[in-house]
Amino acid sequence: MALFMDVHTLPGPVSAEEAATAHQADLRTQGRYGVDYKSYWVDEEHGRIFCLVEAPDADAAASVHREAHGLVADALYPVREGE
């Protein structure tokens, strides 16, 4: 499995509650795709959400977002955990 960080840029501010709701939808959906959404961070003022996900590939990670809530990431980067 690979580790990815994705970035969502929304057209306006986003609340922590909205991000939490989307993350819960991801958690309910992820098992069907063999994906594990680890954590997320929110920049409420600038409407950005960042998600850390372990997935077989980028397509599987994107499929979870698409099915769970439709908020597909603008960018998805393979990352490696620092030592």
Note the pLDDT tens digit of each residue in 17-74. 999 999 999 999 999 999 999 999 999 999 999 999 999 999 999 999 999 999 999 9
Question: Which segments of the chain are extended strands (E)?
Answer: 2-9, 36-43, 48-55, 75-79
> What is the reported pLDDT for 81?
85
59 compared with 81, residue with greater pLDDT: 59
> What is the reported pLDDT for 14?
96
**Residue 47 C-beta-side C-alpha neighbours within 13 Å:** 8
pTM of the predicted model as reported, rounded to 2 decimal places: 0.92
Band of pLDDT at residue 83, cut at 50, 70 and 90: confident
> What is the reported pLDDT for 82?
83
**2-79: CATH, from 3.90.870.40, 1.20.58.2240, 3.30.930.10, 3.30.70.3090:** 3.30.70.3090
